[in-house]
Amino acid sequence: MALKRWMAAIALAAATATPAAAQEATVVNFWTSGGESRAVAVLAKAYDKTGGKWVDVPAIGPQAEQALVLSRITGGDPPTAMQWSVGVPLRQLADQGLLNNVDALAKSAHWDQHLPPMVMKGITFDGHVYGAPVDIGGANYMYYSTAVFQKLGMHPPATWDQFFAAAPKIKAAGIIPLAFGANAQQENWLFMALLAGVGGADVYRQVAVDHNAKVAGSDAVKRVFDAYGKLRQYVDAGSPNRKWNDTLDLVETNKAAFMIVGDWASGDFAANKLQYGKDFGCELAPGTQGEYIMVADAFAFPKSSNKQQIATQQKLATVLMNPEVQNAFNIYKGSLPALVNAGLNGIDPCAQLGHKVLSEGASHQLPHFFLVFTPNELGQISDLLAEYWTTPSMSAAAATRRFGQIIGGAD
């Protein structure tokens, strides 16, 4: 219901609002961690160099961003652009006629030749292109403290079975085995890594791509929930509702062994002047060494018929889709440029590790849940994961049955 009200508000504001001056671009985003903030500053500087003025409007997380956008729109001051996830979330807005397209720019700049097929498909609906994708992230990384593993004389786990064998020793040494913040964002990251690492890539694909309810309710997924529940004993008491960058700080300060997070974590390590190979290391999450769980961020442009606003949006999109800008942005962001012609000059070694797997082809690429489920479906999955995590008496079998029902009802 909240999404429907939000969509209606956009439609009303698009018809009644007075747009900002053509050169001023108000941009809503939830990139607020140290590395992310440095990355956004690259985009802002690049836009300002064209004679425009980037007005940054930060929000703390996706849900806060949605609320902030709604407030701006209902107040008659819709933003020029907003950060949004490629895939189903973007499609929902486009299907409602709530976004301006960027067809002309996409055609003239040959985006279809310079974006990976999964990303291009994720911004194209009914023959029109919506959104300017600026990065590709791998959500299934394990970032670890080199000091912790050196101290314990251990190697980072290559499988979850290895982790469960080592976790008691890590915990006995007074170190948190798994850095984890129990909120919807991190619960999804962890579950996706487990679904691919314990369930396997084929199971992941049948659940996420095919929406196969039978597989989602199978013993293979029950084993995933068993592992997910078993991890409760290996996180710290401060876990509930902790932001991801605060959770990562436990690894950065050698209080925790590792965290399951996306490659954007590299940006935070760099912002804190920590060095890859010396202070931290990264691998793809246990059991997923041959898979890349892909997510892509884009900027979407709220519907407007005002020529000045449209010109501002087109100007902004042109800057965002500049290969040099994307390269510079992702050096700080820690992810990969969405444009394949942006190159990897200066890109973090962890992102390059993912790029190697990504470049092996579609059979090694798995979609992040954002790409394939609606916000309503994502909400149901998140609610289940949160309830299961906080309810040890709930059996893995019961959680699996509910998961199968959610996937069975997915579009």
What ranges do the domains of the chain cover? Answer: 2-136+296-356, 141-293+366-408
Specify burial of residue 310 (Cβ count, 10 A radius: 0-12, 13-18, 19+).
Answer: middle
- What is the structure's pLDDT at 195? 98
Q: For residue 397, give the nearest of 185, 204, 223, 143 by alpha carbon.
A: 223
Tokens for 287?
Answer: 């059991």
Q: For residue 64, give the nearest of 29, 33, 99 by alpha carbon.
A: 29
Helices (H), 60-200: 62-74, 88-95, 103-108, 111-114, 117-123, 146-152, 160-172, 184-194
Q: How many CB atoms lie within 10 A of CB 171?
A: 15
Tell me the pTM: 0.88
Whether residue 185 contacts residue 262, with contact meaning beta carbons closer than 8 Å, is answered with: no
Specify burial of residue 176 (Cβ count, 10 A radius: 0-12, 13-18, 19+).
Answer: buried
Q: For residue 266, give the nearest of 254, 256, 251 by alpha carbon.
A: 251
Query: Which class is domain 141-293+366-408?
Result: alpha beta
Q: Give the pLDDT of the chain (411 residues) as one tens digit per residue.
A: 444 444 444 444 444 444 445 589 999 999 999 999 999 999 999 999 999 999 999 998 777 887 887 777 667 778 999 998 899 888 888 998 889 999 999 999 999 999 998 899 999 999 999 999 999 999 999 999 999 999 999 999 999 999 999 999 999 999 999 999 999 999 999 999 999 999 999 999 999 999 999 999 999 999 999 999 999 999 999 999 999 999 999 999 999 999 999 999 999 999 999 999 999 999 999 999 999 999 999 999 998 888 999 999 999 999 999 999 999 999 999 999 999 999 999 999 999 999 999 989 889 999 999 899 988 899 999 999 999 999 999 999 999 999 999 999 987
Domains 2-136+296-356 and 141-293+366-408 share a fold: yes
Helices (H), 218-341: 219-230, 244-252, 265-271, 307-320, 323-333
Whether residue 100 contacts residue 39, with contact meaning beta carbons closer than 8 Å, is answered with: no
Q: How many CB atoms lie within 10 A of CB 112?
A: 13
Phi, psi of 153 (to 5 degrees): 65, 40
- What is the structure's pLDDT at 6? 43
- What is the structure's pLDDT at 14? 43
The CA distance from 152 to 3, in Å, is: 49
Whether residue 304 contacts residue 100, with contact meaning beta carbons closer than 8 Å, is answered with: yes
β-strands 24-29, 81-85 pairing: parallel
Q: For residue 328, give the nearest of 48, 46, 20, 28 by alpha carbon.
A: 46
Phi, psi of 131 (to 5 degrees): 95, 150
The gap from C-alpha 267 to its chain's centroid, in whole angstroms, comes to: 14
At residue 254, what is the residue type? Answer: N
- What is the structure's pLDDT at 93? 86
- What is the structure's pLDDT at 10? 42
Kindly report the CATH number that applies to the domain delimited by 2-136+296-356: 3.40.190.10
The CA distance from 274 to 276, in Å, is: 7
- What is the structure's pLDDT at 335? 95
Beta bridge partners of 276: 280
Whether residue 406 contacts residue 380, with contact meaning beta carbons closer than 8 Å, is answered with: yes
Residues found in the chain: 411
